[in-house]
Chains A and B, each alone.
Chain A
């Protein structure tokens, strides 16, 4: 005899259920056959979800002292909340109500009335057995710390930082390089409007740099993230700059006096030089330089110190004794905006990059075009003086190619069109674009394509087979010959050019999988961070409190990155305003006395909710990190892990009910005690 007082409510749903299932018979059966199992009331009603239907349940809870409620109606995904709320109004814990589906999973999919009615009975019986073992639960409330960590100071991170900081909440912006700005700071013009990239970016960089709510940590990396949504503890390594930021005025005299010239592979993409003490570019934020230890004469040979000697501040801002600093702080939410890496064009040897001098990558070409770049904005060959008379631009280098990356890199078409336009505008050279498809799908993009067509840029449809300097025909001497099958003409062509630009693919950051691991999120097979839902939740991740924005989620251009940065900020601000977050109480927990410390469960959790306590030699589960999948519950050989709302006992009880082992008319006279643990 069950100690619980259970009410069973069978819904007609007009004729949706009643047409196929004899609902009155089901209710009658439940009150007669399941009386022993605790059912004290069983009713059928036209529309259980109507206010009258809900009042019926509420009245029974109050008058009949029901302790459990089973509603047999539509899918729990539709009305579970409705009936839980009704129970709550009547003073019953909402988790003591179970909604079983006899519409989507019985009446709508079956035609035989007798069989459907019998199945409905079994489904109700399963619900009754399960609900008996339900426990009153409360949603888990976690407070949300108002600060936010943003990783990556490219345009997406900058946008997110400004949105949050402008709303009055503290932001920690962590950037690996000496300055924020990201890839956008390297570009010359932005498509399709041809705005100067620096002109629209640098004001935002300055805003971030001087914002009272932003703590800017450049030349820093996140080492560790502990905790969970609402209260993450972040450990950041602030690498030694060897420059005291509290004294430095950013005058630049140290850079001027430094005797070492270093090839700048990062900002200038290998086309220009910088000093050993340097700012990546003139408008860098923050303005303080960094000493590059590997190339600094003092650090390598023990003497020089020219920078310190000439530093005009008192005390000297140059500090060779500076050490890496480890900072620790609390944040409530994290936004990852770590951007992308450019495809290494040397991986396609037939295109000749790094072998043939005048083959450039897209990033190198951006620097060539940039007025602040190594050539002062002149488009010239590697010799630094000769203007090209013909330029070939190859699309989809490393994209849409199963040997490298199967995906489309999204920006290359527009970028190549922009390059074509800039070459035409600045040199008057002839331009050939080699493309597979032209993808100009956003606002004003196709108009730009039309404009470039009118500029007289040539388009050859076909994937380039080879770029070579081996001349075969007259007119090819001293040129780079692009061998391509023109698929519109249907013939092989050899097009001699002076300069080749490779529109290289966007790739996930080299360390994206490690970063994903640090933050407890997932990467797709290609290495991009995975969003919670590709359409309906594009900036959240499966880990509560971690958001993603910009190209780290997949190749995207500046407008899309800015939109995602703002979207992630809006999501975070919503959280901060709620002040606390209610988490579903479907969680796993460990019964410490039963845990043998075998650690079988330790590697099963993708959310890092499971940790091993070496002192007590048992495993622990952090309820705020646990997402409630139950994989560890199923794996525990000692039965030490239980899942609220989906415990072994509850699932087996439902099974017992579904198989009708609980009723005398069922297939077994005596219920098997072993099947339902007490």
Chain B
């Protein structure tokens, strides 16, 4: 028996809500799997979609994006911009042949520590089930187009060829 696959997930959090939710999960001693590593941004609106691509290219198996609930943004409305970018990003990722479950958007207010923990747990399980992404190394960094796009088994290529 080989060891179970332990995915690495990068989580982007908003300073005002989801980072505080993560803190709250801690102070309430709610447990979740250690596979997630968090990065604090001031707002989910700060999330440049390339951060997600870089994370996946750098070895992450999944990325969790978190922010304030719609209508509750600390900066009034920036999380709506996150939502737009996320929708677009998901389509882009699908074209790269990446399962949509690997990148997820979760709204979590500063009071939802327990909920955030549950969402992290769910995501870790789903990504574990998907297996390693292994994008890193597939993507060359010398400016050539990413190999994954041309991979014969990539859904996108098959879709175009058909």
Contact = CB atoms under 8 A, between A and B. Distances in A.
A667 interface: yes
Nearest to A108: B26
Nearest to A656: B58
A15 interface: no
A101 to B, nearest CB: 7
B115 interface: no
A29 B54 CA distance: 26
Given A630-B43, A659-B58, A75 B23 contact: yes
Nearest to A652: B54
Interface string B69-94: 00100111110010001000000000
B38 interface: yes
B41 A668 contact: no
Interface string A320-362: 0000000000000000000000000000000000000000000
Contact of B40 (A76, A109, A522, A659): A76
Contacts of B76: 522, 530, 542, 606-607
Contacts of A656: 58
B58 A655 contact: yes
A651 B45 CA distance: 14
A126 B37 contact: yes
B81 A104 contact: no
Contacts of B59: 659, 661, 667-668
Interface string B20-53: 1011011101111110011111110111110100
B10 interface: yes
A586 B42 contact: yes
Contacts of A655: 10, 39, 51, 54-55, 58
Contacts of A105: 22-23, 26, 38
A674 interface: yes
B48 A648 contact: yes
Interface in B89-108: none
Given A652-B51, A659-B8, A674-B141, A115 B42 contact: no
Nearest to B117: A109
A119 B58 contact: no
Contact-residue size bin, chain A (C-beta under 8 Å from the other chain):
35 or more
B27 A629 contact: no
A313 interface: no
A115 B74 CA distance: 34
Interface string A630-664: 11011100000001001010011011101101000
A659 B10 contact: yes
Contacts of B75: 542, 606-607, 627, 629, 631
A116 B34 contact: yes
A604 B43 CA distance: 13
B46 A108 contact: no
B31 A119 contact: no
A530 B40 CA distance: 26
B26 A634 contact: no
Contact of B23 (A104, A661, A668): A104
A374 to B, nearest CB: 44
Given A108-B27, A110-B31, A659 B55 contact: yes
Given A109-B32, A119-B34, A542-B74, A631 B26 contact: no
A104 B25 contact: yes
B29 to A, nearest CB: 6
Contacts of B25: 104, 108-109
Contact of B78 (A108, A118, A631): A631
B154 interface: no
A574 interface: no
A114 to B, nearest CB: 9
Nearest to A606: B76
A525 B117 contact: no
A105 B40 CA distance: 12
B158 to A, nearest CB: 28
B26 A104 contact: yes
Contacts of A122: 37
Nearest to A75: B23
A542 B73 CA distance: 11
A651 B34 contact: no
A549 interface: no
A648 B20 CA distance: 22
Contacts of B117: 109
Contacts of B40: 76
B60 interface: yes
A106 B23 CA distance: 10
A535 interface: no
A629 B45 contact: yes
A118 B33 CA distance: 13
A672 B141 contact: yes
B36 to A, nearest CB: 9
Contacts of B54: 652, 655, 675
A631 B46 contact: yes
A634 B45 contact: yes
A579 to B, nearest CB: 28
A3 interface: no
A587 to B, nearest CB: 10
Nearest to A119: B34
Contact of A630 (B33, B46, B58, B136): B46
A517 to B, nearest CB: 12
A335 B68 CA distance: 28
A648 B47 CA distance: 10
Interface in A597-614: 604, 606-607
A643 B20 CA distance: 21
Given A108-B26, A658-B10, A629 B136 contact: no
Contacts of A658: 10, 37, 39
A667 B136 contact: yes
3 smallest beta-carbon distances between A and B, as pairs:
A104-B26, A630-B46, A631-B45
30 contacts: A77-B19, A77-B20, A106-B34, A108-B29, A109-B117, A116-B34, A119-B34, A122-B37, A522-B76, A604-B78, A604-B81, A606-B76, A606-B78, A627-B75, A629-B42, A630-B41, A630-B43, A633-B48, A634-B48, A646-B41, A646-B42, A655-B39, A658-B39, A659-B8, A659-B58, A667-B136, A668-B59, A672-B136, A675-B54, A675-B57
Given A106-B34, A634-B46, 6 more contacts: A116-B34, A634-B45, A634-B49, A656-B58, A658-B37, A658-B39
